């Protein structure tokens, strides 16, 4: 049982599950002897690890995880591991007939460039498995199955609400639904009330709430949302960046609607995030194009002024929200 395999995608839950399955099939693991985890710090050892036998064992498992070996390059930005990748490709091409008889090289990445030489080499000599994030309907089905298994009731609207609040990462949703199941107990029911009480919202979802408050001129509510983020230890710089990115998307929606451009394309949404288009369109209607441009300029100025000590970031954010 040897081989070359690439696992990639944003579904970290399924990727970790697949890694566990491979390790279980592999059998007894002895760190440093028949199992080696290669990371950025020791990435240069990958070829020597392929050459070194598993002393006393018939097989060796080498796990290379999130080392950007298949990252897309541009004309201006080359992969920092380019030289090593080239050597690895040459080594695999020259020795593929025998190195994978007793060695399993498992490469795990979040994203890959399918035109890269390493991807093509793995495609030629090994196996590739993509594990993408599930779409909302698939997430609802999976989460519903988990609740049913624990004899806890939850309806589709509540599951949609949970996804909107916590994002589309299956791993994070699994963590949240387990917490809600534990709270509801066998025979219990999970409603939006329990989701609001226990689920930890992603900052992007909170920014949607904040923008809704601004859109209907409820400044008090917007300030409460902002202060809650700060109270919950969300870094102020991260709040600023997320606000900027959100209003930039609203501005792009305005432009796209005016020029009849695809919103999916201009918003750069993942396939499982297209349900957000309706929310972006609705919120874009709150603001004039010029107002959105002004907000973006104010956020940029706040960022630069706060870095040179001209204004406190918290106060600056509050001032911008009040001006909106």
Alpha carbon separation from 35 to 16, 48, 79, 322 (Å, rounded): 17, 14, 27, 57
DSSP secondary structure letters along 88-147: HHHHHHHHHHHHTSSEEEEEEESS--TTSHHHHHHHHHSEEEE-PPPPHHHHHHHHHHHH
- Shared domain for 303 and 211, answered yes or no, is yes
Please name the residues in contact with 256: beta carbons below 8 A apart, sequence gap of 6 or more: 262, 263, 266
pLDDT of residue 297: 96
CA gap 40, 21 in Å, rounded: 24
Domain span including residue 106: 3-130
pLDDT of residue 318: 92
pLDDT of residue 263: 85
DSSP secondary structure letters along 2-56: -EEEEEESS-HHHHHHHHHHHHHHH----BTTTEEEE-GGGGGGHHHHHHS--TT
pLDDT of residue 74: 67
- Shared domain for 167 and 256, answered yes or no, is no
CATH code of the domain containing 53 = 3.40.50.300
Residue 130: beta bridge partners? Answer: 8
- Shared domain for 178 and 225, answered yes or no, is no
- Shared domain for 83 and 187, answered yes or no, is no
pLDDT of residue 53: 87
Q: Nearest to residue 88, comparing CAs of 66, 69, 65?
A: 69
Q: Is 186 left (phi over 0), alpha (psi -120 to 50) or beta?
A: beta
Q: Which of 104, 130, 156 is the last residue of a domain?
A: 130
Alpha carbon separation from 2 to 69, 74, 128, 149, 277 (Å, rounded): 21, 34, 15, 37, 45
- Shared domain for 193 and 271, answered yes or no, is no
Q: Which of 130, 161, 186 is the last residue of a domain?
A: 130
Q: Which of 114, 130, 146 is the last residue of a domain?
A: 130
pLDDT of residue 75: 61
The mean pLDDT values, 10 residues at a time, for the chain of 324 residues are: 87 91 92 92 92 89 93 71 92 90 93 93 94 90 96 96 92 94 96 95 92 91 91 91 95 90 80 84 93 95 93 92 85
Burial 109-140 (b: 16+ CB within 10 A, else e): beebeeebbbbebbeebbeeeebebbbbeebb
Token pair belonging to 142: 């999976």
- Shared domain for 120 and 17, answered yes or no, is yes
- Shared domain for 7 and 95, answered yes or no, is yes
pLDDT of residue 270: 76
Do 166 and 173 touch, CB atoms closer than 8 A? yes
CATH code of the domain containing 170 = 1.10.8.60
- Shared domain for 243 and 319, answered yes or no, is yes
CATH code of the domain containing 309 = 1.20.272.10
- Shared domain for 236 and 180, answered yes or no, is no
DSSP state of 69: T
Composition of the chain by helix, strand, coil, percent to 5? 60, 10, 30
Q: How many domains does the chain have?
A: 3
- Shared domain for 159 and 257, answered yes or no, is no
Residue 8: beta bridge partners? Answer: 109, 130
- Shared domain for 314 and 214, answered yes or no, is yes
- Shared domain for 265 and 311, answered yes or no, is yes
């Amino acid at each position: 049982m040897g081989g070359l395999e690439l696992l990639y995608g944003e579904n970290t839950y399924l990727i970790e599950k697949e890694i566990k399955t491979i390790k279980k099939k592999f059998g007894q693991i002895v760190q440093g002897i028949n199992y080696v985890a290669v990371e950025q710090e020791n990435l240069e050892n990958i070829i020597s690890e392929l050459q070194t036998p598993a002393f006393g064992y018939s097989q060796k498992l080498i796990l290379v995880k999130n080392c950007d070996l298949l990252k897309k390059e541009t004309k201006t930005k080359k992969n920092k591991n380019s030289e090593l990748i080239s050597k690895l490709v040459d080594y695999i091409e020259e020795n593929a007939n025998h190195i994978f008889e007793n060695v399993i090289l498992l490469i795990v990445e979040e994203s890959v460039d399918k035109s890269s030489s390493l991807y093509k080499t793995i495609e030629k000599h090994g196996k590739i498995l993509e594990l993408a994030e599930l779409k909302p309907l698939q997430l609802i089905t999976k989460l519903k199955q988990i609740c049913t298994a624990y004899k806890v009731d939850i309806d589709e609207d509540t599951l949609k609400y949970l996804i909107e609040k916590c994002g589309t990462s299956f791993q994070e949703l699994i963590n949240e639904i387990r917490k809600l199941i534990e709270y509801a107990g066998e025979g219990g029911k999970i409603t939006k009330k329990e989701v609001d009480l226990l689920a930890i919202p992603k900052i992007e979802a909170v920014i949607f709430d904040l923008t809704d408050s601004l859109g209907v001129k409820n400044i008090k509510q917007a300030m409460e949302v902002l202060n809650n983020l700060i109270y919950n230890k969300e870094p102020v710089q991260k709040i600023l960046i997320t606000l900027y990115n959100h209003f930039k998307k609203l501005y792009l929606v305005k432009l796209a609607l005016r020029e009849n451009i695809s919103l999916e394309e201009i918003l750069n949404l993942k396939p499982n995030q297209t349900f957000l288009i309706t929310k972006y369109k609705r919120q874009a209607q709150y603001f004039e194009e010029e107002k959105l441009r002004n907000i973006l300029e104010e956020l940029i100025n706040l960022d630069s002024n706060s870095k040179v000590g001209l204004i406190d970031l918290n106060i600056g954010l509050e001032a911008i929200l009040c001006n909106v």
